[in-house]
Amino acid sequence: MASLHVHRARIALLLRFDDAAVTAMARYSPRLLGETLAEAVARGVAERGLGYFPPLPRLVELGLAEPDLLAAVDDVTAFVLQAARNGGRQRLAALFSSVRVERVTSPAHTMPPMRPADPRAVEALAHHYAPDRARLELVVTSLERNAYEGAERWLGRRAARALAGLARDIRLLDAAPLEAGDG
């Protein structure tokens, strides 16, 4: 008698959306917002002698960016995060027996990893601050006829392939197995 095997995994994906597509829907270019912010922040950091670049939420507080510019970044970020959440759930629902979106976050709002002394700091900072990426964390379940060793990586790659039309670039960041009682 045949039986089904339940494979569950926690998956983290990084989705990068096309600049032109986001601009058409959200009115602002993520690339241009990132470049504008990076130039202003780099100038302010140099004037103040800071040894680091602050994360987006601290820029107004430190006087490194205009509130209106950050409001535009927040608008684009909200659009990108919603597209990742809704598009991800919709595309993956047909592929897996269950899909639960755990978290959707913007890497642009994290602490930038580069330092002001880096030779290409402004360019890297512009990429970091551009609100064109979303980190999508999911729990997926798949019912299969066979048990697979390392099924979590396979499920992660399967999810990334299914999202290929949603974003310009998709990277599988992590895939971890879950037991029946986990998350």
- Residues with Cβ within 8 Å of 113's Cβ and at least 6 positions away in sequence, in order, are 128
Q: Which two tokens stand for residue 161?
A: 């392939």
The single residue listed with the structure tokens 């202003």 is: 40
Q: Which of 54-58, 65-69, 118-122, 144-148 has the lowest mean pLDDT?
A: 144-148
Q: What is the pLDDT of residue 145?
A: 77
Dihedral of the alpha carbons of 150, 152, 156, 162, in degrees to the nearest 10: 100
Residue 132 has pLDDT above 90, yes or no: yes
Distance CA 158, CA 11 (A): 11
Q: Which two tokens stand for residue 73?
A: 């970044």
pLDDT digits (tens, 9 = 90+) for 66-110: 999 999 999 999 999 999 999 999 999 999 999 999 999 999 999
Q: Residue 2: pLDDT band by 50, 70, 90 thresholds? A: low
pTM above 0.85, yes or no: yes
Region 23-48: mean pLDDT is: 95
Residue 7 has pLDDT above 60, yes or no: yes
Q: Residue 118: pLDDT band by 50, 70, 90 thresholds? A: very high
Region 32-42: mean pLDDT is: 97
The residues spanned by each domain of the chain are 5-178
